[in-house]
Structure 1
């Protein structure tokens, strides 16, 4: 695939050969990031949890296993119909029990009520948002006071992707996202280095101040 095709499919996978290849890339590349984003959220059994840009649903699967309480609830949002359908199949049982709700929706239009979410996590997606500050504001809106947001990424991989021109501009820089979070009412915004299964990655943490 050409670099610009790769960038488009990473941001919005479609029903196509390139979209299928990107879904396989997610399984190989994102699984550790998804699992660690869930762990770092410190999800409790009765939390309400939201994953943004959930892709094929690996993070949803990990998170659902922790929501064992009667009030535990998991939401997922992805604007790719292809990813929405893949995740819906993966989470079919949990959806049927009412523990999981998935929405095929743009971030800005996601139908999540204000002040309802305890934990939010996402992986490798903020740099695809057309308006990062607006995206951060929407996340802040749906979170409860004191709610925790975690995003995981691999800066080394991002820099290689930039060098191959599959992503443009400087919005991949985590400092840009962290500034947007702070400007929208998040506090204790910080970046930490982590390692798991010989993979070095970064995690951004933020607490919703209301």
Structure 2
């Protein structure tokens, strides 16, 4: 049962996946808001979320910044259905576009974003260096990338959050990003790290 739940948190599927998505939405609200507020969003900006889950962040951004367009990529088709329901009006107006893909393989040749962000999704990337290379090319010059991680389960330690902070910063430097800033915040159940950088 434990293994099944872990698998659902990685890639939610079916009815149990919907339930897991709801749990993630509730658990992540504070760190989602923190991450959104770290981006200098302006009217007309084009934003990409990696690991949109049930679509909470996308909905909040569209409500707060109605002039923006938000794309999302997630590995779960179940989460695409959930996020699609939550943002159906914005999708009809073509303000929101949802994709099902592994970020390590995902790349849109004809699009560049003002901001890209990821909340509690970085540990699931199958090829981190390849993913960051894609993100670098998809971000506009001067654009913002925000990666937030709150260690969970066996990783739920302050030391692990700081370890993620160091690791993400080093990988971002190697990928060519600049102005890298690392922030920490104690949000239940554990210390959370947010790394912000620019292209």
- Asked whether the two chains share a fold, i.e. TM above 0.5, the reply is yes
* C-alpha distance after superposition, 1:160-193 (max 9, x if no partner): 4337xxxxx99x7232222211111111222112
Instruction: Name the SS for the 1:56 alignment partner.
Output: coil
CA contact (8 A) 2:104 2:128 kept: no
| Aligned-residue offset at 1:114 | 5.7
Residue in 2 that maps onto 1:119: 115
CA contact (8 A) 2:116 2:146 kept: yes
Residue in 2 that maps onto 1:74: 70
Residue in 2 that maps onto 1:161: 154
| Aligned-residue offset at 1:65 | 2.0
Give me the TM-score of the superposition, normalised by structure 1: 0.82
| Aligned-residue offset at 1:198 | 10
CA contact (8 A) 1:114 1:141 kept: no
1:53 has 2:51 as partner: yes
| Aligned-residue offset at 1:196 | 7.1
Residue in 1 that maps onto 2:13: 14
Distance 1:110 1:85, change over 3 A: same
Corresponding residue to 1:110 among 106, 110, 128: 106
Distance 1:191 1:114, change over 3 A: farther
Instruction: Name the SS for the 2:65 alignment partner.
Output: coil
Structure 1 gaps, min length 5: 164-168
| Aligned-residue offset at 1:104 | 1.3
| Aligned-residue offset at 1:66 | 3.4
Residue in 2 that maps onto 1:190: 181
Distance 1:196 1:9, change over 3 A: closer
Residue in 1 that maps onto 2:137: 141
| Aligned-residue offset at 1:133 | 0.9
| Aligned-residue offset at 1:115 | 6.2
Give the superposed CA RMSD.
2.7
Instruction: Give the length in aligned residue pairs.
Output: 196
Structure 2 gaps, min length 5: none
* C-alpha distance after superposition, 1:91-114 (max 9, x if no partner): 100010111111112213435236
CA contact (8 A) 1:115 1:141 kept: no
| Aligned-residue offset at 1:153 | 2.6
Moved over 6 A (4+): 196-199
Residue in 2 that maps onto 1:34: 32
1:131 has 2:138 as partner: no
